[in-house]
Amino acid sequence: MERMVGRMSFHLRERVRREVEQRRSKNAVIDVGDLALRMSEEIDGESTTATIMLQRLIIDECSHAGIAMRVGGSPNI
């Protein structure tokens, strides 16, 4: 079970990375809430828990890559 969760986590992080890169090519600033909500709808049908988890992964990915992001209502860098 632990192995499966580890693999799922890795695949989810890779998916977040791809989504962030795709959005980065279209926009200068990633809207964290919008991307997390869209991804959580696909994964778990608008689960609040999934949305929060995805927001954390997206923020982490943007931070590591040096990508500007919008969290809440204002752009952050």
Measured in whole angstroms, the distance separating CA 27 from the mean position of its chain's CA atoms is 15
**E-state strands within 6-77:** 30-31, 69-71, 74-76
Contact 15, 61 (CB under 8 A): no
Structural domain boundaries of the chain? 2-76
Say what the pLDDT of residue 36 is: 92
Say what the pLDDT of residue 8 is: 53
pLDDT in tens, 10-65: 688 898 999 888 888 887 889 999 999 988 888 767 678 888 889 999 999 999 88
